[in-house]
Amino acid sequence: MCVEIPSKVILVKGKKAKIKQGDNSCWVDLSSIEEEVEEGDYLILYQKVAINKVPKKEIDKVLELVGDLSDHHHH
Protein backbone atom coordinates (compact mmCIF):
# COMPACT_ATOMS: atom_id res chain seq x y z
CA MET A 1 0.00 0.00 0.00
CA CYS A 2 1.46 3.36 -0.96
CA VAL A 3 0.87 6.09 1.59
CA GLU A 4 1.66 9.77 1.88
CA ILE A 5 5.18 9.59 3.22
CA PRO A 6 8.22 10.35 1.08
CA SER A 7 8.98 7.41 -1.16
CA LYS A 8 12.30 6.69 -2.81
CA VAL A 9 12.38 6.53 -6.60
CA ILE A 10 14.09 3.36 -7.81
CA LEU A 11 13.28 3.60 -11.52
CA VAL A 12 12.01 6.29 -13.89
CA LYS A 13 10.35 5.65 -17.26
CA GLY A 14 8.95 8.71 -18.98
CA LYS A 15 6.20 10.16 -16.81
CA LYS A 16 6.10 7.15 -14.47
CA ALA A 17 8.35 6.28 -11.56
CA LYS A 18 8.71 3.11 -9.58
CA ILE A 19 8.94 3.90 -5.90
CA LYS A 20 9.85 1.75 -2.93
CA GLN A 21 8.28 1.84 0.52
CA GLY A 22 9.55 -0.78 2.91
CA ASP A 23 9.17 -4.15 1.19
CA ASN A 24 6.69 -2.84 -1.37
CA SER A 25 7.13 -1.00 -4.62
CA CYS A 26 4.64 0.49 -7.03
CA TRP A 27 4.44 2.69 -10.11
CA VAL A 28 3.27 6.27 -9.73
CA ASP A 29 2.31 9.00 -12.16
CA LEU A 30 4.75 11.92 -12.46
CA SER A 31 2.75 14.12 -14.82
CA SER A 32 1.86 16.67 -12.13
CA ILE A 33 5.50 17.34 -11.23
CA GLU A 34 7.25 20.04 -13.26
CA GLU A 35 10.85 19.30 -12.39
CA GLU A 36 12.86 16.31 -13.53
CA VAL A 37 12.65 13.25 -11.31
CA GLU A 38 15.51 10.77 -11.18
CA GLU A 39 16.53 7.63 -9.34
CA GLY A 40 17.25 8.32 -5.69
CA ASP A 41 14.85 11.27 -5.46
CA TYR A 42 12.06 11.21 -2.89
CA LEU A 43 8.47 11.95 -3.82
CA ILE A 44 5.40 12.84 -1.82
CA LEU A 45 2.46 10.83 -3.15
CA TYR A 46 -1.26 11.13 -3.02
CA GLN A 47 -2.85 7.82 -3.94
CA LYS A 48 -0.69 6.81 -6.90
CA VAL A 49 0.16 10.28 -8.15
CA ALA A 50 3.37 12.05 -7.20
CA ILE A 51 2.42 15.53 -6.03
CA ASN A 52 5.75 16.85 -4.85
CA LYS A 53 9.45 16.17 -5.01
CA VAL A 54 11.42 16.49 -1.77
CA PRO A 55 14.36 18.88 -2.28
CA LYS A 56 17.67 17.06 -1.84
CA LYS A 57 18.73 19.36 0.99
CA GLU A 58 15.59 18.48 2.97
CA ILE A 59 15.65 14.70 2.51
CA ASP A 60 17.59 13.97 5.72
CA LYS A 61 15.24 16.12 7.78
CA VAL A 62 12.16 14.51 6.24
CA LEU A 63 13.47 10.96 6.65
CA GLU A 64 14.34 11.69 10.27
CA LEU A 65 10.77 12.83 10.81
CA VAL A 66 9.38 9.74 9.09
CA GLY A 67 11.69 7.57 11.19
CA ASP A 68 10.38 9.24 14.34
CA LEU A 69 6.79 8.68 13.22
CA SER A 70 7.29 5.01 12.45
CA ASP A 71 9.04 4.51 15.81
CA HIS A 72 5.95 5.82 17.58
CA HIS A 73 3.71 3.33 15.79
CA HIS A 74 5.57 0.38 17.27
CA HIS A 75 5.09 1.37 20.94
- Cβ 9 vs Cβ 53: under 8 Å: no
3-state secondary structure of 52: strand
Domain of 11, CATH number, reads 2.30.30.140
Q: Indicate whether 73 pLDDT > 80.
A: no
Domain count, the chain: 1
**In which band, very low, low, confident or very high, does the pLDDT at 69 lie, cut at 50, 70 and 90?**
low
**Residue 28 in domain:** yes
Averaged pLDDT for residues 30-35: 93
Structural domain contains residue 63 = yes
Structural domain contains residue 2? no
Q: Is residue 1 part of a domain?
A: no
Residue 50 belongs to domain spanning: 7-73
